Amino acid sequence: MEKILLCRVDDVYAGEILRVETDGLPPVAVYNLDGAFFATDDTCSHSQAWLSQGFIDGDIIECPLHGGCFEIKTGQPVEPPCTEPIRSYDLVVEDGAIYALVEP
C-alpha cells in the first residue's frame, strides 16, 4: 500500500469536512466525526457537486446540490438521487498527519 498525505489532524475540526487536493488522487473529503477521521471522494457520484460543502448528519453526508446521501464510513448511497457509491479511503494517522492508503 502507498501512503498519501491528506492533511494534519488539526486541519479538520470535529464535525467538519475538509476538501483536499493532492497529487495521485481525485479531490478527497476528509471528515472528523467526534475525533474519528474518515475520507471519501469529494465529488458526488450523481453530478458535479462537492460533498465537502454538504451537511453531516451522524455518519451520513448529504450532498448540497440535490440532497442525496452517502454513508461516510463506506461511501454507499443511502438516499436518492444517489445510486452509485463513492470511494471511501482507508486511513492511517501518524504523528498528527492523516494519510490515505491506496494501491500503488
- Contact set with ligand FES (CB under 6 A): 44, 46-47, 49, 63, 65-66, 68, 81-82
| Residue with Cβ nearer ligand FES (39 or 44) | 44
* DSSP state letters, 18-38: EEE--TTSS-EEEEEETTEEE
Q: Please report how close the Cβ of residue 40 comes to ligand FES at its closest, in angstroms.
A: 12
Q: Which is nearer to ligand FES, 46 or 88 (CB)?
A: 46
Q: What DSSP assignment string belongs to 77-101? A: EEETT--S---EEEEEEETTEEEEE
Q: How far is the CB of 27 from ligand FES (least distance, A)?
A: 14
Give the separation between CA 75 and CA 72, rounded to whole angstroms: 5
